[in-house]
Amino acid sequence: MSFLYKFKTKQIFFSVIILEALAIFLILNYIFTSLSNQTKNQALENLQTISLKVSEQVDSELKKVQYSTKIIADAYMRNYEQIKENSKTPVDEWKNKMIENTHTRSFIYDGLNNPETKHMSHELQSFVDKKTLFNKNVVYRLETAEKLKELFHGIYRNYKYSYIYISTYNNVLHIYPTVNLKYEKHAAAPTTQHWYEAADFKNKTYGWEEPYSDLSGVGQMVTVSYPFYDRTEKLQGVVSHDITIQQILEKFMKNIELYDNSTTIVISQKGKAISTNNQKYNDEIELKNKDSYRGLLYYLNNKDLEELKKNNTEYINSQNSWLNNLSSQAIHNLKDKPYYSFEFTKENDNENRIHQVSAVRIPTTNWIIINTVPNKQILGQLNESSLQTQIAIAVLLSVLYLIIGLVYYIRFFVPIEEITDITNKIAKGELNHKIKTNYAGEIGNLFMNYSKMIKNLLLAKELSQKYNSKLEDEIKIRTAQIEEKNKQLLELSTRDNLTKLYNRNKLDEVLISEVNRANRYNKPFGIVFIDIDYFKKVNDTYGHQVGDDILKEFAKIIHDNLRKTDILGRWGGEEFMIICCETDLEGILILAEKIRKEIAIYDFGIKEQKTASLGITTYKKDETINELIKRADTALYMAKNKGRNTIEFL
């Protein structure tokens, strides 16, 4: 337990009090959290159960619609086979009865065949594409349709709004109820229409279309199509049944609303918005889809929508971003599973932020029913009760611990604070203090010992000040010596020992800097190589000491004729380099000629007059330093080869 000595007594005391209070809070919180979790789990289980029940009911209703197409198909083929064997009606008789339209011939089975029949009258209507040969087969199909009037009417009565089609392989279309003849163009070539292509020809069974919007304002619709065949398994056509989605869902959607403020949405397997239990959201679906037959509104987040827009760039998602995120999350979580429950975070809604979600798939169409309820709605009174209880306990604990704290503070912490204050002042060097003597017991002994300690500290302070003064003087001397040595080392690392000019290392550093500056700011610069002509003869004739003296004088002549911006250094042996910063060729040539002349007239104190050869080049953008140096070196050798004491540029 030695670690406790690292803390102040007051810290330990109040920490214990806080820990005790915290422990009580944690226990209570655990109890209420457990109750909350049980409540949420039970609510989610109930939500999932009712969602599955509604899914089964909707699926059952869809299967009834689905089965209606098979009933019609079977009845159609039975009557067709009978009429095919017994019909004696001449082709022309039927042809003459047909109403001639732009793209089709039509007939209404109302006894009048009135072309002015109202749109959606409860009558059967047939269309024959004008491109179709009007023969016996067409007659058989027209007469077969007449036999099925009551069947069509009976199935239609079960739904508030629907269309029933029979589209034959030879482009004869039977439809119930009637459509206005101004739409007859859409009845031509029914085998190319979306309702025909929706059938599952591969498996010879039902096929469902993606939901679409009825442009006449009825709302969201869906089509189931069933292909039918003759005895030889030859395709004869497709029976299609259009129904409004709302009339299927509305009778079941209310059953799923277990809680107030819950939201239920129905989407296709790709995320297309189909319906909700919220009129505001349904209004958005209707508004966004009103001008598009296929419907454009999807409940998908932006990432998923962009993937879908590869097929159609007109697709959009909802202005209610939380529905987009909810739907995308449900689709990803559900995958191929029949149902899935999860917790969803609704952004920008602090009041109803966390939701419990149940997602259930409708098997027949693969639509998804998503039901979401805010946690606040589920927990309700439980959270309110939990908060009230915790507040009451907090108040009681606060009063109790306040009384305990006051007793300990007066008897124990006040003297400790006084002794702590004295200790802090001692730490700052303040040693003139009067210690109270009115405390008894251990506190009194502590104050007495502090008084003795202060006397000893005053004596030690005097001795320490004398020693520190002497030590500071010694440190100043040593620091000055080190700084001087560092300056000397820096000078030695960048200077040539003989000429005191920059050495090759320093020249390399400057070249790198100038190349970077030239590339970044397009600043011109160039270099000059200077070599003493016939310098070897000086060493051979007069010795190396004279040669060294000439090198130093040579370096001084060059240095004295430089500009402030030029950098001079000894490249090696009797060869020197000038880096001409921010200087073009003309400026470099003037400088080089000036130096060449000064060297040529200078008296070096030996019999022979000394001269120099100079090679010049300028930097070309993005070339390497080696390429620059090689070109200047080549220019120098050109000067040597032309008789020396001359300047060459390359």
Give catalytic residue positions. 574
Q: In sequence order, what E strands does 415-551 have?
A: 525-532
Element (H, E) at 85: helix 9-86
Using left for φ > 0, alpha for ψ between -120 and 50, and beta otherwise, residue 643 falls in: left
Element (H, E) at 363: none
**What distances in angstroms separate CA 638 from CA 260, 479, 607, 620, one per listed residue?**
97, 53, 27, 20
Q: Name the burial class of residue 179, with classes exposed (0-12), middle (13-18) and buried (19+) by CB atoms within 10 angstroms of its CB.
A: buried
Instruction: Tell me if 284 sits within 8 A of 320, measured CB to CB.
Output: yes
Instruction: Tell me if 182 sits within 8 A of 115, measured CB to CB.
Output: no
Question: Which tokens in the block code for residue 165?
Answer: 């089609």
Residue 255 has φ and ψ, to the nearest 5°, of -65, -20
∠ CA 248-254-256, rounded to 5°: 100
DSSP helix/strand/coil, 203: coil
Torsion angle in degrees (nearest 10) through CA of 111, 115, 117, 119:
130
Q: How far is 369 from 139, CA to CA, in rounded Å?
A: 46
Using left for φ > 0, alpha for ψ between -120 and 50, and beta otherwise, residue 564 falls in: alpha
Instruction: Tell me if 274 sits within 8 A of 246, measured CB to CB.
Output: no
Concatenate the DSSP letters of all residues of 269-292 into one string. Answer: TT-BEEEES-HHHHHHHHHHHTT-
Torsion angle in degrees (nearest 10) through CA of 110, 116, 118, 122:
10
Residue 215 has φ and ψ, to the nearest 5°, of -70, -10
Query: How would you classify the pairing of strands 566-572 and 575-581?
Result: antiparallel
344 beta partners: 355
Q: In sequence order, what E strands does 305-380 have?
A: 316-317, 339-345, 354-362, 367-374
329-351 per-residue burial string, b: 16 or more CB within 10 A, e: under 16? bbbeebeeeebbbeebebeeeee
Closest CA to 241 of 58, 53, 101, 61: 61
Question: Which tokens in the block code for residue 161?
Answer: 């709004």
The helices-and-strands tally (H runs, E runs) of the chain is 18, 21
542 beta partners: none
Instruction: Spell out the residues 6+ positions from residue 353 whose beta carbon is closer than 8 angstroms to its own.
Output: 345, 346, 347, 374
Amino acid code (one letter) for 101? N
Q: Name the burial class of residue 142, with classes exposed (0-12), middle (13-18) and buried (19+) by CB atoms within 10 angstroms of its CB.
A: buried
Element (H, E) at 236: strand 235-244
Instruction: Spell out the residues 6+ positions from residue 324 whose beta carbon is closer than 8 angstroms to its own.
Output: 298, 299, 300, 301, 302, 305, 317, 318
Instruction: Spell out the residues 6+ positions from residue 138 whose beta carbon is closer than 8 angstroms to its own.
Output: 91, 94, 128, 132, 170, 172
Q: In sequence order, what E strands does 492-574 have?
A: 525-532, 566-572
